[in-house]
Amino acid sequence: MASPVGPMRLAADEGAIIQILFVEPDARVSDPAEGVDPLLDEARRQLGRYFAGELREFELPFATRGTTFQRSVWSELAKIPFGATSSYGEIARRLGLPMGASRAVGTANGANPIAIVIPCHRVIGADGKLIGYAGGLERKRFLLRHESGGQPQGALFAW
């Protein structure tokens, strides 16, 4: 699927979205054609509305495949509201993890198979800086600016 941040690969299985990933512009993307899978059609519609600024929350069934720890992190990511951010350390604290677990949270964050819908792009460094994003920092910057109305959120957030 084409998007303002480059092509994306979508996949569904057993009635749930299992993958939304960014791919490089020269990658061969073989998403099923429209009309082949109603769920993927709906995901494309919702992503289109998100990028058009018309949708803030996705209503798509999704299923994650990962370790218990990864799934707990992804579940916490899904709670970060549109236009808000959280730090890796804050996610670790909400999960009741010990000090220093922010790296493990970052690793799980980077393995998120359902970009944008599970908003891993909303996780930033404790100092407000953009760090780490499997889709690349330019995409992360674009998504955060998109969600904040085009402006970084305060002087601390120099995106």
How many whole angstroms separate alpha carbon 65 and alpha carbon 148? 30
Count CA atoms within 13 Å of residue 76 on its CB side.
23
- What DSSP assignment string belongs to 7-47? -EEEEEETTEEEEEEE--TTS---PPPTTT-HHHHHHHHHH
**Tokens describing residue 69:** 């720890």
47, 73, 120, 130: the active-site residue = 120
70 given a catalytic annotation: no
Active-site amino acid positions: 120
